[in-house]
Every structure is written in structure tokens, then in C-alpha cells.
Structure 1
């Protein structure tokens, strides 16, 4: 049985003509010279570049596997964790023993309270690489290693309308509808009345469109309930995502009790234990694990927790590039109750830059599951070497 003989870590910060989610609300551009900034009225830091951390595992027979963390800000942090803490434990492990490796790596910092945060992000990238390596070694796609794909084409929705005004957002929504798109997620949280005005403009753009609302953790229970009731009254709304601050499980539970509209949560969560708490308390009705923060092993466990409570899984995906996207697609293909996958158009364009063969499909016709062994992708190693900074311990 071949063993892992090398672990390499790369940090990428790729410029693009359009920042993730477009311009800032004050109309200014998010530029590199401004560094990380808070996108008001939201609270989180954002970058003008598409930032990520890649892991390459190399076996002693020359087989390679790639993984990626969702690290849109400060990818050096999880990168250093891989290089310093995880790499020594990976060297010499047998290729294909993914679950034993995951358990070993998880437990390295578990008793110190690091099942979440940057440690989890680092482990997610390694876990994805372990699955890719295992699939390439045995000649099978990751979805087959997970027990088989329920679908070869994944239904998807468009995430975001990066325009400055509601009229412009409505025009872009109409363009998407003309390409066969039927669901668009709006990135809102700008105040209840402003959010509803945007929803109304987009719904009016094409009668075939449905809408989901990402509130970016902006509201209290009362405001979120008012927003949710108004959305229900309008109809053609699929879910309300991240309405309250991310640690308020009871608040989300109370909100979900008040609404028929599904509350969606998951991007801030990292493991089955967190999802079990939320799902067990009925604090969400749509689970959104992000493969770049959970890895494949834990995402599959999360999907089983959700299935036991009859909760559908719709993976979150924002700025992860080609490796994380492919991993998310394989996981999504192996989930029985999957309504759709998140397609972020700007990210998709950047994601394919690190691949020799681009991912195919889109939110109109559906996204094709990558074919071939492992993740079914071919990472452009020359591009990565040219544009990345390698982290060594």
C-alpha cells in the first residue's frame, strides 16, 4: 500500500475584474490597496481578491491528491496549521485510509477546543485531498467512494446579483431567467424595507423566478420574523438564510417556529455535533454545510444527521475555487435529499482558472458532476506555482 510522502501547502490571492458580490454599498470599488474591509452593513471582513488555501498530497508512487479550504480572508492561517500541525501526522499514512486519517487529525487539537475555526478549515482541505488521492489511486470518482451518486447533473441556483440598484438587479435577474434560471438568492440584510423592495423588484422581473434571501446574520428575532412573514405573503420564496447572529441557536429556533418559510443555516458550522444541536432543536429546516469548512468526511456525517431528521441539504458555496467546488459537487451528488447547489457566477469564473479542464454546466441546465478518478479535475500546477505562495513549516 503506497504511503503519503509529501504535503505541500499553497496560498492563492487572485485578482479579478469584479470583487465577490460586486461593489460596496457606498458605490465604491473593493480594491486591493484597501486591504481587508467590512462590507457595511454586514460585519465580516472581505477581500478584493479571491483568496484560498490549497493542499497537495503526494504518495510515494507519485499519485497526487488536492484539497482546498474555504479561506476568503487570511488563508495563511489555516495554511500554517496544515504545514505545522497536520503535515507531520500525515507523512507515512497509507493512501486510501481516509476515515482513520481524519479521526487521527481531528483528535490532535480536539481536547483543546479546536473542532471549529481555522483548525477545522485546515482539516477540511486535507480531508478533501485525502479523498481525491484515494480516488485517483483506485481509479474511482469520489462520489462512488461515498456510496454512489444519486445524480450526474446537479440542480443549481444563482447566488447574488452584484449590481448597485434594484433596477439593475432586476435587469440582471431577467437575463438569468432568459437562460433558464428559476431561483436566485439575494444577498440582503440591509433593513427590512430595503430587502423587501429588492425582492419585489426581482420577482417582478420575470414571473417564472423564485427567490431566496440571505440576510447575512443582520437581524434580531422580531425584525427577522417581520421580514419572513412579508416574504411568505409574497410567495415564490424558497428560504431565508442566516437571519440572526450565527451563535443564536434559540433565536433561530424561535424564528423557525413563527414561520412556514424554511430557515437555512450552515456556513458558520463545522461539524456534525454543531449541526446535531441546531437540527435537533429545529432551529433550521435547510442545512447548508460548506465542504471547504467541513471536508468531505464530516459533510457526509452531517448529511446523515440531517437525513435522520428529514432535513434537506443544500451545500453552501461562496468563494471556494475549483477544488472546493468539485468536492462540493461530489458530496452533493451523494446526498439523497438535495434540492439544489449554490452557483456564484463570479466565483465560478475564477474557480476554473486553477483547473486545466473547466467545470461545466450552470444554473440553467444544471452543473455536471466532474468525471474521472478522485475529484475528476486536473489542477493547473503551473498556474498554482506561478501565482501562489508556498507555506512550509
Structure 2
């Protein structure tokens, strides 16, 4: 059976423990030691952890006091985002030496489409190797890479030989690779979804592939179609140099927990003001307002409402956010509030046409 895939050569480059690695490079005394970028206080949060710290279970988004409990010798370092952005720009300059089709996901990772590249090099594998060497030479930092026929597989592959490694999944290897893959390794399958899949007898890509589309739609809603296609190596999303945001938001973490909605109104006013500034700067408006609430026990709750018209001004955003706040009782005291706007006027309707290109399985990777 011949399979149809978009004929692309995609590289996903991911810096290794980026923030922590920058700190260890700039301060040699930290090399080889477990460090966490972030705060170690009771209300502090880990932004990034070195590989030495990860061995003790320290992870990003973990509370600082829990991280310290897991790793008593953990060294906390204050984040320096200006420095991280500086290094990120150096890395990005290297990407543009090879292609203009660069889609950054964050400061430390990006997709590159090198199907047609500035070096005229037919091998995406060799390009990835060159890029990683240039990054090391220029910044002193290591990066990992995944190379394959689409963004999904490249993303999965980049995590395969971390740190300081790369993996190529050639066209003829795509299906066997995905079938053998642990379901937890699928990009887009989080911890909760993985547990749900386990209960349904889905442990590997092959198990997932055996489930019909109707079954996946029934159990996973809109994500069902995504899982159905990616396990077959089908992911048609192109590398987009200028990504259009799907939502715009602002949030605040408080030094003291808030226990009453009354105390939260002033905070929401400030957050709505910041969101308005961001929206107006980008000339964006939206219809769906989401209130994000993180409780003192770190559980997260979101409440959303869609209105029939686009808004971007503070008063209307705040009015809806207040309505969502009083929608139901709080479960606990609150440590973080956030407001985001989605269903933006930047979203374009996609043509309902399906285009597939047959891959030549002899394509050089």
C-alpha cells in the first residue's frame, strides 16, 4: 500500500536544558552541578533545570520548595531573560544561514524546512549536524535535532537522542518508527491523555493505529482525528516563519494567596489593562475570553465565554472576566489569575481542500 506524505525535509532543533545551560556556561562554577533557574522560596517556581537536577526529578513548572526537597543540593539561579534572548538570537542567525523557513516555538526551539535550502545541500541530516556544530562553536551550548518528513515526526525525533544528539526518521522508516513508539512520546499526548489511552488498551503507536477514527473521535473529541492521522505519519502543517497567534493573554502570580473574589477584582483590573495593551499593540481583537485560576494547591481551572463580537478594550474584557469569576465558587485560595482572548480576528478560514503529495521513498535524508 502506497502512503501519501507531504514531500518535505523538516528539522526540529531543540537546545539542551537551555536556560540552565546558559547559566552553567556563563558561570563555570555551576558546571556539573544540579541547578534550577527560578525561585527556591515557598512561592518560587522552577523555570528550567539542568540535567544534573533532572536526575532527581526536578522539572520546569515545579514548585521551588518541592524541587529543593527532591534535590537538597539544588542551586537556584535567578533567570536572566535578556541573556537567554541574546543567545537565542545567535542561534536563530545560524538557522537563517540555511533557510528562511524558520518557525520558532520558543527561545530554545524551532522548526526548519530545508527541502530547498541556501546551501544546496540535499541531506537534511548533514545540515542538522552542521547547525548543531555551529551552535556549539558560537555559543558553547549543545543542541539536539530531529529530522523527518513533517513537523510532528521531527519534533518527536529531536527528543530521541537528547542531550547533544540527533535522529533521522527516513520516509521508509516512518511507519515502523511510529508503530513502535511509546504513546507517551507522541507530541500532543500529555499525562492525562496517556492515562486515558492506557485504560483503553493503547500503549504504543501500533495500538493507536488499530483504533478506528470513530472510536478516537468518541473518546478524544476533536483530538481524535489528529491522533488518527499522525500515527499514520500524516501531518500537513507547514513551517510558518511568521506564526499567527491563536490567543493573547496576561497573568499574575501573587505574593500572598487571595481567598475572596473581592480581593481579586483589583488584580483582574490590572491584568485586563495589560491584556488590552498587548492586543492594541498587535492590532488584535477576539471573541472568546478565558479566565485562568491557579489555586494554592497548584490545581488549575479555566472558565470561558464566547461573545458574538470582537473586543479588545479593557472594560469589556474585565466585565466578562468578572462574570466568569463569579460563575461558580472558588475551590481554594488563589495564587494566580490570568485572562486570555482567543477566537481572534487574525484567524483565517482554511479552504476545505485536501492536498496530498506522494513521497518518493528514495528521497535523500
* Shorter-chain TM-score tier: under 0.3
The two structures have a TM-score, normalised by structure 1, of: 0.24
Q: Return the structure number with greater strand share.
A: 2
Q: Give the TM-score normalised by the residue count of structure 2.
A: 0.25
Answer 1 or 2: higher relative contact order, Cα 8 Å, separation at least 6: 1
Q: Max radius of gyration: which structure?
A: 2
